[in-house]
Amino acid sequence: MPEYLSTAPVKGTRDFVPAEMSVRTQVFGHLYDVLERYGFLRYDGPVLEPAEIYERKSGQEIADQQLYTLTTKGGERLALRPEMTPSVARMIAGNAKSLSFPVRWYSHPNCFRYERPQRGRVREHWQINADIFGSESANCEIEMFELIHDLMESVGASSDMFAVRVNDRNLLTSALTDVVGVSPEHLPAVFGLVDRWEKTSAEEHATSAEEIGLTDKQFEKLTEALGSGAALLDELPAEVKEQSNLVRVLSSSAASLVKFEPMIVRGLAYYTSTVFEVFDTSPKNRRALFGGGRYADLASLFTKERIPGIGFGMGDVTLIDFLDTHGLTPAPRNEVDVMVIPVTEELADAARQVATSLRRAGLRTSTPIEHRKLGKELTRADKAGAAAVVIVGQEDWEAGNVTVRSLATREQQQVALAEVPSIVGGLVTPA
């Protein structure tokens, strides 16, 4: 017996059969429409980049634990992209002289990270990225939050199904130093502790704080600060708040779109001020769905010109989990709108002519590849979800007619060839 290879995809990757691909196409089509209504332009880039751009800017977790790297025959160290932001920063820097800032760009790349596969995490995923480059205005933050709400609404979500939780790393730094009394050398470790705060227990918080070197009083103040919500802002120096775009957002009409949360940090090293995460509010899936933030100097890897930016990445795995949780996942589209069936094999060419006229009218149309009995083709059309079939018989064809049958009502009528697209179109429900 021959030894067959496994039909399973590589661990951490996924196959998408047509029904699953139909769901994805519908969901992401809604997102593309919203992004383009906001004026975002789509771009793409290579799946391979120099490993160095991630090692220098994406943070220790990605660089040390999750990066897929390879060395070319010429000795170059390359990486499969784990995210798109360093790539788009490179592209923006390389094209800066020809761009009129600010610019809005979006993409939908596949990304690779050596994760431990589990719910919400795989090793290859697709991600909507949306970024605004070239402006430090708080209007960028406001537009991002409005965009997120419209994106979620486009896939059927109501505002009570998710929450946009926001913070500013500069405000958090002030809270840690001015309120909690953390020394500068302990700040990176305390940032890491805050980033893990909601994922670990109170006992683990205390142990980590002790290992960092915080006193009991500092740990108590840290716990109070992280649990105080927006009230924490009242304890911060005025000059710190005056520099914060997020404080401007919270003082605007967009404040209702977000919730200030001191515990939001974001693990990526390039974020410099505003950070945010979108959370599912369902107790069945209470987790971060996606997030982003502002970066002041990411393009500095590639140019001396300072090009600020803000953006987010929305991954497909957590988004589909969210839709499944809330019963919002669309049904796969039917295979075709209409099937054209020749009664005899000799009428195959005639059937193709009719199919051509239907396709030109925008209807998804198929004809049999191999000739089979009419009954079997009608059953096949039903399984394919066709709304109608067009039956091409010898006598009808010679008279310039065909038979159109509705598969919903089983009623049929003889139709002149010129009228077939309009008659069939009336039987097809718009997608």
Binding site for L-histidine, by residue number, is: 83-85, 113, 127, 131, 266, 270-271
Helix residue spans in 251-383 (DSSP H): 316-325, 348-360, 374-383
List the beta strands (DSSP E) in 281-411: 288-295, 309-315, 338-342, 365-366, 388-392, 401-406
| Dihedral over alpha carbons 366, 370, 373, 378 (to 10 degrees) | -20
DSSP track, 41-87? EE----SEEEHHHHHHHS-HIIIIII--EEE-TT--EEEE-S-SHHH
Task: Read off the amino acid at residue 116.
Answer: R
The rounded distance, in Å, linking the Cα atoms of 28 and 33 is 9
Q: State CA 220 to chain mean position distance.
A: 38
Q: Can you say which residues are annotated as belonging to the binding site? A: 83-85, 113, 127, 131, 266, 270-271
Helix, strand, coil share of the chain (percent; to 5): 45, 20, 35
Of the candidates 387, 389, 391, the residue with the CA atom closest to the CA atom of residue 428: 387
Token pair of 130 as six digits:
């949306």
CB-facing half-sphere around the CA of 97: CA atoms within 13 A = 3
| Dihedral over alpha carbons 364, 367, 370, 373 (to 10 degrees) | 120
Token pair of 364 as six digits:
């998804």
Contacts for 193-202 with beta carbons within 8 Å, 24 or more apart?
Answer: 194/226, 194/262, 194/263, 194/265, 195/263, 195/265, 195/266, 195/267, 197/226, 197/263, 198/263
Token pair of 257 as six digits:
């779109």
The rounded distance, in Å, linking the Cα atoms of 8 and 15 is 9
